[in-house]
Amino acid sequence: MSTGYKIADKDGLYYLTFQIVGWVDLFTRQIYRDIAIDSFKHCQQNKGLSLFAYVIMSNHIHLLAQSEHDDLSGTIRDFKNYTSKKFLEVINDSAESRSDWMKMVFEYHGKHKNKQNNQLWTHENHAELIYSQKFIEQKVDYIHDNPVRAGIVYKPEDYIYSSARNYAGLEYILEVIEIDMKWKTVR
């Protein structure tokens, strides 16, 4: 069995990507971003999740994370299960204009790939073990520059749903453990 892109080192620091199936732009609505943020906060407070960098894009999330309890896989599983249930509650109970289409996509991915009713997240987490200071810096830059590359903002710290704000000393919505970026110069 392949160990590529899997969490093998239980106490390691990982770069992760969580993707919504079918690249559905779920996070264009604030309610879904808020569910993800609240779930990350819960995992930090109750499951030992340590976040070092993150960004929530329209259909995926990038983060640098580690588990204080040596169970990053379990924490990710719980995060995805909980958020999937909450997302579906909102889709089913609100005036979401895309609800019929989203339900069709999520049902398709659930029934045809996993023999379950719905699937919102892909099973892959694209886990990459962080092995050097240079790799950490590369991944933090990649995470923070995502909204700039997507044309959403001009500067990484202008994007609210990103830890770039934490690193820039601005008001933020999710606590992170800031990594010392020794080689960086003041902008």
Exposure string for 24-41, b = 16+ CB within 10 A, e = fewer: bebbebeebbebbbebbe
Annotated domain spans of the chain = 14-167
CATH, domain range 14-167? 3.30.70.1290
Which token pair is 98? 């895309």
Residue 158 to residues 40, 169, 174, Cα–Cα distance (Å):
21, 12, 15
Confidence grade of residue 186 (pLDDT, cut at 50, 70, 90) = very low
Strands (E), the chain: 14-19, 49-56, 60-67, 128-129
Total-model pTM: 0.91
**For residue 16, is pLDDT > 70?**
yes
CA dist., res. 143 & res. 73, Å (int): 20
Indicate if the alpha-carbon torsion angle 112, 27, 142, 149 is positive or negative.
positive
pLDDT at position 182 is 58
Helix/strand/coil for 162: strand
The two structure tokens encoding residue 124: 């892959």
In which band, very low, low, confident or very high, does the pLDDT at 1 lie, cut at 50, 70 and 90? very low
Q: What mean pLDDT is reported for the chain?
A: 91
Distance CA 147, CA 162 (A): 9
Q: Give the pLDDT score at 2.
A: 44
Residues 4 and 124 sit within 8 Å (Cβ to Cβ): no
Tokens of 76: 């990710």
Residue 152 backbone dihedrals phi, psi, to 5 degrees: -85, -40
| The length of the chain, given as a count of residues | 187
| pLDDT category of residue 57 using cuts at 50, 70 and 90 | very high
Q: Provide the sign of the torsion angle of the four alpha carbons 156, 158, 164, 169, taken in this order.
A: positive
pLDDT in tens, 107-154: 888 886 656 788 999 999 999 999 999 999 999 999 999 999 999 999
- Using N-to-C axis directions, what is the helix angle for 99-113 and 72-93, rounded to 10°? 140
More confident residue, 52 or 113: 52
- Distance from chain centroid for Cα 176: 13
Which of these ranges, 22-26, 27-31, 73-77, 181-185, has the smallest mean pLDDT? 181-185
